[in-house]
Structure formats: C-alpha cells, structure tokens
Amino acid sequence: MANGPDNRLLATLSSDNCRWLEPYLEHVDLPRGTVLAEEGEVLSHTYFPHTAVVSLVRPLEDGRVVEMATFGREGLVGLAFAGIPLQSFGRYIVQMPGAASRIGTTRLQMAARARPGIQDMILRYTEMLMALTLQSAACNAVHGVEARACRWISATRDRAGRDDIPLTHEFLAEMLGVQRSTVSDVLRTLQGRRLIHQGRGRITVNDGSRLQQAACECYHILRGKYQQLLPVAER
C-alpha cells in the first residue's frame, strides 16, 4: 500500500496505522458468484474490497432473494466486534469479480484493541452502515423503481470504480425487489435517454452525471454521509 490503498476505508487510516496493519492483509481475487459466508456462519475473515463488489442477500422461502446491503471499495465485509464471534446475517456473495484484501477477524479485533485509529475506523463504518440501513428502508418505502435503479447503478459504479458493470436484469430485479419485466422496462427507458447502454449481461454507464441526477435523493444523502464519516487521510 505504498501509494495508498485502493479501499476507501483503509485510506481513512493514518500512514502509521496502515503500515501496522499491512503485514496482516492478504490480497485475494474474488470470482463472481463466490459465497463468502452463508447465513448463520461465523465469519473467519474481514474483507476490504478494492475492485470487487459483494452483496449481502437473504434467500426467502418462495425462492426469491432480497438484498440487504452491498459492499465495495468504500467499506468492508464482516465487522469485527471485540470478543464477539460475528455470525452472518445472510449470504455474502460476490456480485462483481475483483480484488480485495482480507484479514482474520480475530486479528482485526486485536488490531482494534491495540490501535485506537483502527478502532475508530471500524466504529465510523458501523455508523455509516446504520445510516445506510435506515435510508434504504425509507427509500424502498417511498421512491419509485426508476429512481431506485438509478441510485443502485450509480452506487455500484462508485463502488467498482468503473463504468462497465457486469449486471443482468434478473440480478438487478432481485436487488430492487421487483419483477424482471419491470427492470427491463426501466433499463430500456434509461437507454433511450442515453444514460446507459445495455449489453449481454452488463450495463455501461454513458452519462454518470445525468444518471446521478435521475437517482433518488438517497444516493446524494448517503454519498455526503460517506464523505463526512470516512474522509481519506492525508499522506
């Protein structure tokens, strides 16, 4: 991490804390569809995505899947609370393939106890996740599918750091909790407005600024919250 980490959360750490943590971070490649943990399993590692994007989903009895949270280079997968084995609240599955750094959860707990700056990073990210959860609940209750789709695609673009997003209609429908046909209509509209281009199994963002403008207010609220709670450290 000599030039600074690609993960935004790690980038909030001071240089000293980064150097202290670096020997314990293992670089891993995460293929699409990899399940990092099933519901109820104890998470043995905490992941800091760089280019990978991971979704936390809950399979329902009727076969549907509901997204609860998504994690990319702005955060981590698997919070580490001192002395408490963390069980997964659902299935952690790699949505977009890419790289990540991982560290043993026990080792991260020890680091948090030894280094106040690392503990502060975890606490600030915990607050961010709480804000994300509450805002998402409000968003799903009151905002339309098109605005939520624009928010989801924009946020995923931010997390991945690229315009080309491997994404099927089926997967986006699961993430938004709507029918596939509804998502197809929305994406066709967005393509007609030249905000995106649809390919086979992928979406390319043509105009990120206009796509963000079309997103619901939740996108901008949460983006501001990230900048407030997780400012990148000067190096």
Kindly state whether residues 127 and 172 are assigned to the same domain: no
Residue with tokens 């915990």: 126
Which pair of structure tokens corresponds to residue 156?
A: 């995923």
Query: In whole angstroms, what is the distance from residue 230 CA to residue 81 CA?
Result: 19
**pLDDT confidence of residue 198:** 92
Domain with 70 in it? 8-139
Q: In what order do the strands lie in the sheet with 45-49?
A: 26-30, 98-104, 45-49
Q: How far is CA 99 from CA 8, 24, 88, in A?
A: 14, 16, 21
Does 189 lie in the same domain as 100?
no
CB atoms within 10 A of CB 226: 18
Gap between the Cα atoms of 58 and 96, Å rounded: 18
168 and 151 in one domain? yes
CA 84 to chain centre: 23
Count up the domains in the chain and report the number. 2
Tens digit of each residue's pLDDT (9 = 90 or more) over 30-60? 999 999 998 888 888 999 999 999 988 887 7
| pTM for this predicted structure | 0.85
At residue 114, does pLDDT exceed 60?
yes
201 lies in the same domain as 99: no
